[in-house]
Amino acid sequence: MSSKPEQKTILLAVSSSIAIYKSCELCRRLKERGANVYVAMTENAQKLVSPILFESLSGNAVITGMFSNSRQPVPISHISLSHVIDLFIIAPATANLIAKSACGIADDWITTSLLATTAPVLWAPAMNPQMYTNPATQKNIQILSERGHHFIGPFIGTTACGEVGQGRMAELEIILEKIDILLTKNKNLTGKKVLITSGPTQEPIDPVRYISNRSSGKMGRELALEAIKRGAEVTVVSGPSVEKLPYHSNSVYVQTAQEMYEQVLKLFPECDVFIASAAVADYSVIKPLEHKKKRTDEALLLELTPNPDILGEMGKRKNEKQIVIGFAAETNNLIENAKEKLRNKNLDLIVVNKVGGEKCAFGSEFAYATIITPDGIENEPSLTPKRELVQKLYDKIEELLKKKEAI
Ligand code: C5P
């Protein structure tokens, strides 16, 4: 199973970059997700933001130096704290702190704890782009990476000094995603390639109108995230969706079912698991109009043609090691319809969702769903958070992969 920041102890070390304002929010977001957060600040960081702010946000005394002078006593010493934490994050991380750590210098609380910790270490650098690309910084990052430290960013953009280049601290969503990955102990999908279709497709009528459906892409996003957390290499072929795909997936964007089909055809031979969660439009307009259709009082007839059945085609093409999974959105006869689809499309598993009504699949965090394999029904249909459903699904996928490997 995967774990989230809840009930985890996280040490957030903060050094002096203007990006420190993002770390206040990072601290708040980690707390909101249930983590126990300790904040440590370098001396210079304390000139930018008062430790009192981090104390209020984290609910814990802030570590301001070797001989901390906090309003509340720090409950544990630097050595013991660095031993009990689940994750050590340095955000923002300056070139100076990275350099000291690469050299094994331990001249303040943070660098001393970095030497003492056995927890995973995640750096989110933020600095002037010239400082970042300087060979000294690059070498130090390489040294730390080789020692198993993790880095996220920096990203290209305008930095606080007004220069444009690679120096901006990673956005919080990306840092939080990386934290989830690092906190997940189950890495059973390491070395596996998972291919996912996600979101709706749009079939043009004319340059401004299209046929589509209410799929939000939430399920595809959750499916991608969980596979990434378990160590898989994930590619998502996504139709137009407001839902942002995970940063750590390879994302391929398409508009129509035909484009989705072409991308999946290319990527399928390499994958170990194919999950078709996209709500692919079943029909497209035979000849979309070149110019915008003007309103008239006449009835308008659109001639439609069936789109390729992506899932059905991959079911036909799969080899004995590949797993092909479908989703079904049904309004009635859930189990019978799903079982038929499982057979007809040669699937290893199908997830059937009830659609329509409150909290039912489209755009919701919940799904009224059942997992079915050729061996039977895994769970009676019930209203489940999509995240939980996805975890159940990957537990089953791990089981199926093991079975196929044994063949
Ligand atoms: O037959 P139905 O459209 O209900 O099947 C739904 C499943 O088939 C979903 O997994 C969906 O992603 C997939 N599908 C597909 N290509 C289509 C239509 C549906 O891959 N053209």
Type of residue found at 300: L
For ligand 1, pick from 195, 198, 212, 310 the residue to mutate: most ligand atoms within 8 Å of CB: 310
The Cα 87–Cα 179 span in angstroms is 8
For ligand 1, pick from 309, 351, 352 the residue to mutate: most ligand atoms within 8 Å of CB: 309
Q: What does the chain come to in residues?
A: 407
Q: How many CB atoms lie within 10 A of CB 171?
A: 16
Structure tokens at 149: 């430290």
Lowest mean pLDDT among 95-104, 312-321, 373-382: 373-382
Pocket (CB within 6 angstroms of ligand 1): 197, 257, 276-278, 280, 282, 307-311, 326-328, 341
The per-residue pLDDT for 58 is 96
What band does 2 get if pLDDT is binned at 50, 70 and 90? very low
The Cα 13–Cα 45 span in angstroms is 10
pLDDT tens track for 252-264 = 999 999 999 999 9
The Cα 391–Cα 389 span in angstroms is 5
- Complete DSSP assignment for 240-283: S-SSPPPTTSEEEE-SSHHHHHHHHHHHGGG-SEEEE--B--SE
List, in sequence order, every beta strand (DSSP E) within 34-162: 36-41, 87-93, 121-125, 150-151, 155-158
The per-residue pLDDT for 63 is 92
The Cα 140–Cα 136 span in angstroms is 6
Type of residue found at 266: K
pLDDT tens track for 51-63 = 999 999 999 999 9
Give the helix/strand (H/E) hosting 27. helix 20-32
pLDDT mean over 268-273 = 98
Type of residue found at 119: A
Structure tokens at 96: 């100076």
- The phi and psi torsions of 185 (rounded to 5 degrees) equal -80, -35
- Mean per-residue pLDDT of the chain: 92
- H helices of 325-385, where? 334-344
The per-residue pLDDT for 182 is 97
Q: Is 300's pLDDT higher than 80? A: yes
Nearest to 10 by CA among 157, 124, 164: 124
Lowest mean pLDDT among 68-72, 111-115, 263-267: 68-72
Share of the chain above pLDDT 70, in %: 94
pLDDT tens track for 132-172 = 999 999 999 999 999 999 999 999 988 887 888 999 999 99
Alpha-carbon separation of residue 93 from 98, 113, 158, 233 (angstroms): 7, 15, 17, 28
The Cα 53–Cα 47 span in angstroms is 12
The Cα 115–Cα 125 span in angstroms is 18
Nearest to 327 by CA among 272, 390, 244: 390
Give the helix/strand (H/E) hosting 383. strand 382-385
- Tell how far the Cα of 229 is from the centroid of ligand 1, in angstroms: 26
Residue nearest to ligand 1 atom 4, measured at CA: 328
Q: What's the distance, CA 178 to chain centroid?
A: 8
Beta carbons within 8 Å of 277's beta carbon, 6+ residues apart: 196, 197, 198, 219, 220, 223, 327
- Tell how far the Cα of 61 is from the centroid of ligand 1, in angstroms: 53
Instruction: Give the Cα-Cα-Cα angle 167, 183, 127 (nearest 5 degrees).
Output: 10
